[in-house]
Structure 1
Amino acid sequence: MIISSRRTAIAFICSSVALSSWAADDAATIRAVVDTAIRPLMAEHDVPGMAVAITIDGKPTYFNYGVASREKNTPVSETTLFEMGSISKVFTATLASYAQVTGKLSLDDKPGKYMPQLKGSAIDKASLLNLGTYTAGGLPLQFPDEVENATMAAYFQQWKPDAAPGTRREYSNPSLGLFGHLTALALKRDFADAMQTQLFPRLGLSDSYITVPKSAMANYAWGYRENKPVRVNPGVFGDEAYGVKSTAVDMLRFVQANIDPARVPGPMQRAVAGTHVGYFQVGGMVQGLGWEQYPYPITAERLLAGNSATMIHEPNPAKQLARPHLPSERTLFNKTGSTGGFGAYVAFIPETRIGIVMLANKNYPIPARVKAAHAILEQLGPVTK
């Protein structure tokens, strides 16, 4: 029944109708809207640089602000590389969806199928779906400091749940990280290699990386923390949970693929659409694989609640939907991402064919990102009831 419902959802997503009445080439008007939201935000939070990208009816517009490096005074451009932080989780989820579409794994599988050392442990009672939706039963936001790559398996062997799988959502890098790790094992590939040689090319992303090559380092922005330049220092499952570096061009191309999965060929089309299926109701939000979903139109208050510290740092009751959520109504999808020196936000509404990407080289407050994006989308939408 889950598979049948998922296919129905994918068919609906791939056939969505454009509803936006905006002229996609009205760049001057869009710039005024974006400037009004972004310039005060950067001033208030001392953000060195931002790349903002808007897509309307499949046509992109880019707006660049400030610098990628204060030391070198390098201006931000749409080809500047930013750290995506937890937006990487959506890419990990897309890779898992691709593995499912191509028959390499099932979301109903248990971790022990791919890591035999986990068979019979508490984590093996959770499914891959639970790991991909943070509903395994109480995995923490971060690994304990003493956990290293060499002791990761032992950590999961000894982990004790606080709740039954599927009963609560607890946002977790170990949960999503293990989901990505198991996906790579199912594909019989190194995770970073699978992302960089399988996923990104099939999505048409030419400047997205887990490991930034020397040839692209000149485009890699410096993040800023306490006015000091920093870049991500990956830990256990860092690649899977927060390791993607990308540009406004590539991220907007990814958003466009999510708005219209038919833009990408073959199994990847179904993989992208598969990440739009919702599985758990958590307050006013539906949790899918990577993306978080809200009924559209939506108020700023409701969107802020779904991206609040309570949703990130505390366990929240989760109700598994009787069948996977079919986006039969207008739906807004979003995801935030942060590292020590970077902050990002992505949101889009397939039915209106409007999406936004906001990339910054400072980890400024999430509410500020959500408010700015909502204000922009409201002008382009509107998005409030």
Structure 2
Amino acid sequence: MNFMITFLYLAIAIVLVIKGLYNLLNVEKLANQMKQKREKKKDLKEISFDRLKLKAGINSLILLFVGVFIFISLRLDIGVRDIPDLVLQKGPDVSVQAYEDTIRTFLDENQLPGLVVGIVDGSDRYLFTYGYGDYSNYEVVNEKTLFEVGSITKTFTGILLADAVENGIVSIDDTVDMYLDTTKMGNNPVFKNITMKHLTTHTSGLPRLPQSFGFMFNAWLSGMTGGNPYKIVTKEKMYEYMEEAILVNPTGENWVYSNYGVGVLGMCLTEIHQRTYDELLQKTIAKPLGMTNTSVSFHQDKITSYADGFRSYKRLGNIAIGMKNAPWILEEGIVAAGGIRSTGEDMLLFLEALINESLPSITASKEPLFQVDEYRQIGMNWIIDDIEEIDESIIWHNGQTGGFNSYIGFYENKEAGIFVVANSTNSIQRLADDLMLLLINREVQ
């Protein structure tokens, strides 16, 4: 959210609260004013003075309630904090300056509460951290701070699908109705033709999000109050959405990004394996790669390790002002589309595994399955862009939740890639692009 809009909302909230309180303390005066207005209009309907006082009191309470509601929904965090510095947590001091300069330049021009950057450059591994994670306790970001990675979760889901295909458990051309209870989705015929391939390449024809009024209203309310729009999307609720599902495009023809579709894919995978999404994640990816702090679960015992997410953030010298967002804890119906939390330390392991193809399923997940246009293809939730100028392809995905922004990307034929995650919805895409360009330029040199 734009910071000027934050100030506007705050100003409106303050005005409403002050006006509501003032009116409550002057109910009799307001009732008299209402009486005089009625007399001027020659309103013949007789209303007692007591009723006018009651009406004035109710109106005052409504103003007060709306003002307090707006103020609470802002989730403001205001405090005095030292200006943070960029810290190299891991990596050789030699040749690090170019990366530091690129990150610092971005931070000088873009205010963020916290940031983690991981880089693989040939045999070198770098991990940078910046800012504050747990703002309430003044905890600085380190290699073990937990961030929401948002839609980067989809790349994990793609690897889970690739693993199931590699092991002969599922075929990429199997349809949804082979694995999910069709009676629970009202025998909706659209799912008889949608395959695993369609879901993982965003060509199912399903809309970006469920179009149910209940979901859309909750999403709107969450956007207004910094809440979690997906908290209601259990498996049971997703079945209800699937019963009402209407395609926005013919299946298999167009690439239309769909959280909805990847949520359904995750449900299929958990039904096939009879495990939760987190159990699949741990068994197939996290444990084999040594990613000990990557999960979709929200552990209270690690609460101080979680970074606070911000919808809006501004520094005025040592004064930091931000609008927090509630954690996005996703239920089984949609968790496969964006529910993972991870650390800089773990994401560097993941990036390295992607580049080195440490698991057979990683290799399979990166294979193109759908051609979007001359320069873009889609793998199992991976976006593959051909960059003509450098005769290379970048395999990537980004993500965003209510309070976080993320990116992971690497070159197809070079041992080079990055990930970036910030605990703010301020875009980090330019930093990602600059770092990827720096990597390829260093390779050329």
Partner letter of residue 92 of structure 1? T
Moved more, 145-154 or 359-368: 145-154
Partner letter of residue 290 of structure 2? G
Please give the alpha-carbon distance, in whole angstroms, between the structure 2 residues aligned to 1:143 and 1:85: 21
Structure 1 residues 53-108: Cα deviation after superposition (integer angstroms, max 9, x where no partner): 11122431111111213333221112211110000000111111111112221111
Answer whether contact 2:297 2:329 (CA < 8 A) is retained.
Answer: no
Q: Which residue number in structure 1 is paired with residue 402 of structure 2?
A: 340
Q: Which residue number in structure 1 is paired with residue 198 of structure 2?
A: 130
- Taking only aligned residues, the RMSD between alpha carbons, in angstroms, comes to 2.4
Q: Which residue number in structure 1 is paired with residue 426 of structure 2?
A: 364
Q: Which residue number in structure 2 is paired with residue 183 of structure 1?
A: 269
Q: Is the alpha carbon distance of 1:231 and 1:197 closer, same or farther for their aligned partners in structure 2, counting shifts above 3 Å?
A: farther
The SS at the match of 1:359 is strand
Note if 1:29 corresponds to 2:95: yes
Q: Which residue number in structure 2 is paired with residue 159 of structure 1?
A: 245
The SS at the match of 2:246 is coil
Q: Which residue number in structure 2 is paired with residue 56 of structure 1?
A: 121
Q: Which residue number in structure 2 is paired with residue 326 of structure 1?
A: none
TM (norm. structure 2) is 0.67
Moved more, 81-90 or 246-255: 246-255
Partner letter of residue 207 of structure 2? L
Please give the alpha-carbon distance, in whole angstroms, between the structure 2 residues aligned to 1:142 and 1:37: 39
Answer whether contact 2:407 2:429 (CA < 8 A) is retained.
Answer: no
Please give the alpha-carbon distance, in whole angstroms, between the structure 1 residues aligned to 2:163 and 2:308: 32
The SS at the match of 1:225 is strand
Note if 1:225 corresponds to 2:311: yes
1:141-160 to 2 correspondence within 5 Å? 141=209, 144=212, 146-147=214-215, 148-149=233-234, 150-160=236-246
Q: Which residue number in structure 2 is paired with residue 45 of structure 1?
A: 110
Flag structure 1 segments of 5+ consecutive residues without an equivalent: 1-23, 264-268, 300-328
Aligned length: 324
The SS at the match of 2:369 is strand
Please give the alpha-carbon distance, in whole angstroms, between the structure 2 residues aligned to 1:271 and 1:368: 30
Q: Which residue number in structure 2 is paired with residue 271 of structure 1?
A: 361
CA drift at 1:275: 0.8
Structure 1 residues 9-58: Cα deviation after superposition (integer angstroms, max 9, x where no partner): xxxxxxxxxxxxxxx9753422x222222223234332111111111224
Structure 1 residues 201-247: Cα deviation after superposition (integer angstroms, max 9, x where no partner): 12321110111323433221111123123343345634211111111
Q: Is the alpha carbon distance of 1:84 and 1:25 closer, same or farther for their aligned partners in structure 2, counting shifts above 3 Å?
A: closer
Moved more, 181-190 or 137-146: 137-146
Flag structure 2 segments of 5+ consecutive residues without an equivalent: 1-89, 216-232, 313-321
Q: Which residue number in structure 1 is paired with residue 351 of structure 2?
A: 255
CA drift at 1:350: 4.2
Answer whether contact 1:122 1:157 (CA < 8 A) is retained.
Answer: no
The SS at the match of 1:294 is strand
Partner letter of residue 349 of structure 2? R
Please give the alpha-carbon distance, in whole angstroms, between the structure 2 residues aligned to 1:106 and 1:259: 25
Q: Which residue number in structure 1 is paired with residue 295 of structure 2?
A: 209
Partner letter of residue 208 of structure 1? T
Structure 1 residues 100-137: Cα deviation after superposition (integer angstroms, max 9, x where no partner): 11222111100001113155611221111101111012
Note if 1:140 corresponds to 2:236: no
Partner letter of residue 223 of structure 1? G
The SS at the match of 1:73 is coil
Moved more, 117-126 or 354-363: 117-126
Answer whether contact 1:64 1:76 (CA < 8 A) is retained.
Answer: yes
Structure 1 residues 161-212: Cα deviation after superposition (integer angstroms, max 9, x where no partner): 2332111011111111111110111111122222234431123211101113
Please give the alpha-carbon distance, in whole angstroms, between the structure 1 residues aligned to 2:145 and 2:94: 22
Moved more, 157-166 or 286-295: 157-166
Note if 1:293 corresponds to 2:384: yes
Identify which of 138, 143, 163 aligns with 1:78. Answer: 143
User: What is the identity percentage for the equivalent residue pairs of Structure 1 and Structure 2?
Assistant: 24
The SS at the match of 2:214 is coil
Q: Which residue number in structure 1 is paired with residue 338 of structure 2?
A: 242
Q: Which residue number in structure 2 is paired with residue 322 of structure 1?
A: none
